[in-house]
Amino acid sequence: SGETAGGDDQTAPTITAGPTASVSGTTVTITWTTNEASDSNVDYSTNTSFNITKGVPTVTTSHSVEITGLSGTTAYKYRIRSRDASGNQATDNNSSVGHPFTTGVAPAVAQGNLGLIIVEPDKIAPNILVFEVVEVAGTTARISIRTDEQATAEVSYGLESGKLITKVNATTGLATAHDVSLSGLSSGKTYYAQVEVKDSSNNSRKSEIKQFKTTGTLVIDKDVKKQETPAEEKEQQESDTQKQQIDTGEKNTENIELKLNVPITKTENSALRKEIVNRLALDFQEVIKLVASGTLKEDTSSLGQFISSLSEEIPAPQIIEGLPIIDITSTTATFAWKTDKPSNSLVAIVPVGLYKSTAVEPYIIETGNSRELVTDHTVTVTELRPDAAYHYQIRSQGSLGLVAKSRDYEFKTLSERLDIIVAEVLDIKPTRATVYWRTTIDADSQVEFTPLNENGEPIIKDKGTQGKTDTSLEHTVEIQNLSAGKKYLLRVISRDKSGQTIDRYLNPIKTPTDSEKPEMSQITSESTLYPGAQPKVQTLILWKTNEQSNSQVMYWPGLKEPATEEEKMRTQVSNEYTKNHVIVVTNLVPGNVYQYRVKSVDESGNITLSEAYTMLAPSTSESVIDVITKNFADIFGWLRLR
């Protein structure tokens, strides 16, 4: 697909080949070709949001963009964009689903986009997010395991908590989700189980020991009743007709009765408890109605107790993505991750010097969106210090249940970053253009200008650069010696004292065509005689024009203009383009009469030639005092006027 912008060229580039992704570890190089010179941009993400961009501003027909610091063994989606010098853009997003690539294993040091992520060499064991016995039968059980990074899983179990001698390995290898089936168990027995997970760097972690019983029935009915008056007993009988029954699927399972004067107790069998909680959650509104129609009016605190108990039973969301960081600048860090169910998005952070791993809450700041429940999470932390190291942890919690927390990570912000805040063309003349931009820190000022041909392609051989070497936050450069009526591609470039370089392409400009001749005014001549054995005359010829133009004088002795230009004397053409013109003539003969014309050519080549003027070179008949007085009066009087 293509986008067009205004101007003479309204045709977007055509992507003629590609894109192709070449992956090496956590680096990918995307290549493609276009039918005309244009820039190169790749938008990418782990989904189809394409919220990260890497670009190369140089215009070309053969495009190559290298992206480094990606997460290892991670699937990405990307799209490509190319914009020509006229602003017309072509996009290939593979029908909105994106082009796929998957990274390889991360190297020993992971370099994040624009910043260093200090996670390698890996010495951190995987966190066990979920360890649950989810199914139990007479002789079998199934255990579910989730970790925050890819790891292997091994379950040890036995009839005594101190003798977990039977071991079963998960068949999924390195993964974040494992299901382990136990078979050959004895019916009606209590078993103890523990899981050990190990990542690719051999960092391992063991879970707590859990117990389960190979029985398929769980009753949470409580028969604790208080002594009731006849009136209360009648009311209770009416309430009993409204009780809701929740069938556990077993033939002899008792009803789950919610009597608010007795707290809901936990069972030892976590798998069956989870099953009950899930069923309660599916019909949560009906449960609340049941509670409200029962004994709630006798004990309103019981409702809160019930919800609190239920919330504790609901497991935390599972964080199912890898390293949760996508972008680091000198003052910000952006984190992204996914969860298996809707939950909020929070990041806890603390400077390295203030981090205490043994503290109940080792982080001093928690930021993000605590209300919106999503499965794709993005949080940007701002106002960080440049070149500073931080610890962080990502957190997510659903509407009910526990908080999911990642392991502790570290990252470091970039040094103070050179950036261009604003850049624009202030003025365009037929042969000049004035460019202004502002940077975040002091840097020099250069403008690269490249003429474009009729097809909008840059003429590289005619590329030029003009600028200043002194450093500043504010940059103004006037580009000179441009051609009138021609298109140019402009790029502003700044480099600071530390060697950081930043550049930005501006929209192409077109210099106007100038067909107006300069208008002349105030044409005068002033002569001075220098007496001596061979008196000399110095004559100043002055005039003004309404636009920038150069200066030249043609002159001849007598009152008759020569028939040919070769017979006229003339000064050299001034290289300076100005509105105030001064030419010095030094070869006039004292006492002779001369005529002269002045000539100005503007930057577009438009010529103005004045009419002929007459002047008299002074002679020695004047006294020395008259000459000196006139000399000083002419010189300093002229200076005062200008």
- Find the CATH number of the domain harbouring 365: 2.60.40.10
- Tokens standing for 404? 């999911």
Percent of the chain with pLDDT strictly greater than 90: 36
Residues 6 or more apart whose Cβ sits within 8 Å of residue 358? none
Q: What are the pLDDT digits (tens) for 46-74?
A: 887 787 888 887 788 889 998 887 887 88
pLDDT at residue 418 greater than cutoff 50? yes
189, 264: one domain: no
Question: Same domain, yes or no, for 259 and 150?
Answer: no
Structural domain that includes position 371: 327-412
| Residue 448 and residue 381 in one domain | no
Q: Quote the pLDDT of residue 239.
A: 44
Q: Determine what percent of the chain is predicted with pLDDT higher than 70.
A: 76
- What's the number of domains the chain is made of? 6
Confidence band of 489 (pLDDT split at 50, 70, 90)? very high
Residue 533 in domain: yes
- For the ranges 196-200, 420-424, 434-438, 638-642, the maximum mean pLDDT occurs at 434-438
**How high is the pLDDT of residue 148?**
75
Determine, yes or no, domain membership for 114. no
pLDDT beyond 60 at 582: yes
* Residue 493 backbone dihedrals phi, psi, to 5 degrees: -135, 135
Regarding whether 541 and 499 lie in a shared domain, the answer is no
pLDDT band at residue 357 using 50, 70 and 90 as cut-offs:
confident
In a domain, 113, yes or no: no
The span from the CA of 389 to the CA of 143, in Å, is 39
Q: Looking at 363, 383, 412, which one is the last position of a domain?
A: 412
137 and 188 in one domain? yes
The answer to whether 197 and 153 are in contact (CB under 8 A) is: yes
Give the pLDDT confidence score for residue 7 in this predicted structure. Answer: 44
Does residue 278 surpass a pLDDT of 70?
Answer: no
Tokens 């001849």 label which residue?
556
Bigger pLDDT: 419 vs 493? 493
Structure tokens at 164: 């977990």
Instruction: Report the alpha-carbon distance of residue 101 to residue 67 in Å, rounded.
Output: 12
Q: Is residue 529 part of a domain?
A: yes
How far apart, in Å, are the Cα atoms of 245 and each of 311, 366, 480? 21, 42, 88
Listed range (97-106, 260-269, 347-356, 410-419) with the worst mean pLDDT:
260-269
What residues have CB less than 8 Å from 48, skipping those under 6 apart? 77, 96, 97, 98
Average pLDDT, the chain: 79
* 625 and 544 housed in the same domain: yes
Same domain (yes/no): 141, 192: yes
The set of residues, in sequence order, having a beta carbon less than 8 Å from that of 28 and lying 6+ positions away, is 21, 22, 66, 67, 70, 76, 101, 103
Mean pLDDT score, 66-90? 86
User: Do residues 18 and 75 both lie within one domain?
Assistant: yes
Asked whether residue 396 is assigned to any structural domain, the reply reads yes
Whether residue 320 is contained in a domain is answered as: no
In a domain, 123, yes or no: no
End of a domain among 107, 136, 160?
A: 107
Q: Which residue, 465, 492, 510, sits at the end of a domain?
A: 510
Entry pTM: 0.32
Dig out the tokens for 403 from the structure. 């908080």
Q: Are residues 496 and 525 in the same domain?
A: no
CA distance 505 to 424: 10
Is residue 302 domain-resident? yes
Nearest to 381 by CA among 336, 346, 332, 423: 332
